[in-house]
Amino acid sequence: MSRNEAKPRMLANLFLPIISLKRRGSSGWMVIFGLIIVLDLVTMTLVGPYIAPYNPSESLAGAPIKAPPSLQYPFGTNHLRQDMLSRTLVGGSIMLQVAALSVVVCFLIGVPIGLFSSYVGGLFDGIVSMIIDAVYAFPGLVIAIAIAAMLGPGVINISLSIAVVYIPSYFRIVRSQVLSIKELTYVEAAKAIGAKWYTILIRYVFPNVIPSIMVVTTINFADAILTAAGLTFIGLGVTYDIPDWGWDLTNGRNYLATGAWWMITFPGIMIVLLALGFTLMGEGLSEMLNPKLQR
Amino acid sequence: MILMGLRSYIATRILLTIPTLLLLLSAVFIIMRVLPGDPVSLHFEKKADPELMDAMRHTLGLDKPLWQQYIDYIGGLIDVGYLLKNGYPNLGKSMQTFEEVGGQIFSAFPATLELAIYSMIIACILGILLGVVASKSYNSILDHLIRGFGTITYAIPVFFLGIIFQLIFGVYLGWLPTGLRISPNVEPPATITGLYTIDSLLEGNLFKFAESLKALLLPSLTLGIILSGMFVRLTRTNMLETFRSDFVTAARARGLKERTVTLGYVLRNAFLPILTMMGLQFAMLLGGAILTETTFSWPGLGRYIVNRISFRDYTAIQGAVVVFGLFVTIVSLVVDILYAYLDPRIRL
């Protein structure tokens, strides 16, 4: 098998699951449905600032405090006379930034280490695996709390503290795949024609790992969103000034006893929808790639 | 492969726990001490007098070189004399109250344990029950509904579900308390195990038992439902796979009742992976417990951490993280041993 032949076939394999989504029955529909939810919410967050009826961070002079939903304020107002609809429209921005950044960091660290470590094997792989497994077994939120508490607020800091928690997922999935791929005959063939180890890893092994990484990435997005919301809930969030679903939900809880359900429900449902979109994509993809592999 | 007995398996497994534990403790130390951010200046938000900050560094031993601090920290944890004298390991002193962190954690721990146990029971019962029902009605509407339940529970932040429950059952219906382990009007049972439901029974006080159960219901239901999704999925898949086995067909061919086949043959064999999952889920449960405790003002370890965060009490945070780590390690050790006991193949 020459290099030129091998490459297009692998690329086709990579996109095949997406092309034939609809033919894959219920799992294909799960992916499509999840994708629609996510794209909708991302679009909403992007255009939110332009279509919001009021300034989301402004205390509206004429508005009542904690007003229930009405025609004028369809999602009600909060304790600062801010319009909840406007806040809900723009409130995904921080959460999406944090999730995207932490996923990128996880990917850039977890995948190369996973590829290299499992390809090299031996003592190095043993030690790295042991460290990663120790992190993996630890409650993720506790690690994120410890790091976030030390690094302080800010999008980058919060993203990093979440990234540390999910690097092991990438490492583990890559490792489990590479361990079987590296024994295949085409890798042996590549070695025989004198390919360098990094050429083998990048051109022959990596493309075959991508589908599994896609599953981990989507699930990771959902987890990162939930962890970011959790950190905000216990007071380690990014900031207080910018409208954010996590912060609105946390804050609304203080007024629970007054029965102001609208302050909690709308931001909460947005977080659930966003996480659900990614979870559906992840579950659908994972069923398509490997019907027996159930997370 | 060498055949090993159960006893030598347990010994090896315990020995392997030591490096894992050391690794974990070192990771916590690196995060809390070596990463940028000096606990003392963070604690005072850089507003205090430098002399005061130096005095605090000295009291807490933070002015020593890092390697010395590391040795003190690990040494404190393995100081058996201290452990026997106080009943808890030496985790240093709080930056806020200068009390022993170990003691504070020790008194908060039973609340978390009680919440964790009841949540786990709810998650297992709900998850396994729904999983069995879904696998029996494979590909029907019921099956799809149950799978949908599993997916949604994965996507709901545990505190959001808790807040919704508080709103419905606490604020609107007024049926259940929305916080604390027992109503403030009721004297808590005398501490024997620290678990209110057990202590009140030991005291023979059924009223207190009912009260503590009432307080437990919403928090453990919240955490239990969130965790049950995993069990639903796992039970369903394993049941479906086992239903296809030859021995199930054989059991049916012998004319056994479907109920006997499902519970006695299929569920029994699908149970081992579920047991492993229980161990793994314990870690997730503890993460969820932090948020649940904050939602329900539950005075456990999670709420302790959150409180200490607001005081910027870094030594206390470090201590609590270490205890979480110890707990997870012990649980996974117990699960592995249990697994080996139940499934002889593991010992090979």
B151–A276 CB contact, under 8 Å: yes
Which residues neighbour A126 within 8 Å (Cβ) at sequence distance 6 or greater?
none
Alpha carbon dihedral B125, B129, B132, B138, in 10-degree steps, equals -140
B306–A138 CB contact, under 8 Å: no
Contacts B321 to A, Cβ<8 Å: 142-143, 145-146
Confidence of residue B37 (pLDDT cuts 50, 70, 90): low
Q: Which residue has the higher pLDDT, A42 or B177?
A: A42
Q: Which residue has the higher pLDDT, A22 or B32?
A: B32
Contacts A261 to B, Cβ<8 Å: 167
A145–B172 CB contact, under 8 Å: no
Residue A74 has pLDDT above 50, yes or no: yes
- pLDDT of res. A227: 92
- pLDDT of res. A2: 42
Task: Determine if residue B65 is left, alpha or beta; phi over 0 gives left, psi from -120 to 50 gives alpha, anything else beta.
Answer: beta
- pLDDT of res. B119: 92
- pLDDT of res. B1: 40
Q: Which of B155, B294, B332 lies at the smallest CB-CB distance from A234?
A: B294
Interface test with chain A among B28, B163, B286, B328, by most A beta carbons within 10 Å: B163
Interface test with chain A among B23, B25, B146, B160, by most A beta carbons within 10 Å: B160
B294–A279 CB contact, under 8 Å: no
Residue B79 has pLDDT above 70, yes or no: yes
- The model's pLDDT over A202-219, given as tens digits with 9 standing for 90+, comes to 888 888 888 888 888 999
Q: Which of A140, A150, A271 lies at the smallest CB-CB distance from B31?
A: A150
Residue A269 has pLDDT above 90, yes or no: yes
Q: Would you give the DSSP letter of residue B100?
A: B
- Percent of chain A at pLDDT exceeding 90: 23
Q: Average pLDDT over chain B, rounded to whole?
A: 82
- The model's pLDDT over B111-169, given as tens digits with 9 standing for 90+, comes to 898 899 899 999 999 999 999 898 888 888 888 899 889 889 989 999 999 999 988 98
Q: What is the DSSP string of B293-336?
A: HHHTT--SHHHHHHHHHHTT-HHHHHHHHHHHHHHHHHHHHHHH
Residue B47 has pLDDT above 80, yes or no: no
Average pLDDT of the residues in B65-85:
80
Average pLDDT of the residues in B82-92:
78
Residue type (1 letter), B61: G
Contact B317, B295 (CB under 8 A): no
Confidence of residue B344 (pLDDT cuts 50, 70, 90): low
With both helix axes pointing from N to C terminus, report the angle between B6-29 and B314-342 in degrees, rounded to the nearest 10: 160
Contacts B157 to A, Cβ<8 Å: 226, 229-230, 233, 249, 268, 271-272, 275
- Distance from the Cα of A151 to chain B's closest Cα (Å) equals 6
- The model's pLDDT over B1-33, given as tens digits with 9 standing for 90+, comes to 445 677 888 888 888 888 888 888 888 888 777
- The model's pLDDT over A104-159, given as tens digits with 9 standing for 90+, comes to 999 999 999 998 888 888 888 888 888 888 788 788 888 888 888 888 888 898 99
How many other CB atoms are found less than 10 A from the CB of residue A129? Answer: 18
Which residue of B lies nearest to A128 if distances are taken between CA atoms? B23
Cα separations (Å) of A49 from A45, A52, A80, A90? 8, 6, 19, 6
If you average pLDDT over each of A74-78, A212-216, B9-13, B344-348, which comes out highest?
A212-216
Q: Average pLDDT over chain A, rounded to whole?
A: 82
Interface test with chain B among A141, A249, A265, A266, by most B beta carbons within 10 Å: A141
- Distance from the Cα of A294 to chain B's closest Cα (Å) equals 8
Which residue of B lies nearest to A276 if distances are taken between CA atoms? B155
Confidence of residue A295 (pLDDT cuts 50, 70, 90): very low
Give the sign of the dihedral formed by CA B13, CA B19, CA B23, CA B28: positive
A142–B19 CB contact, under 8 Å: no
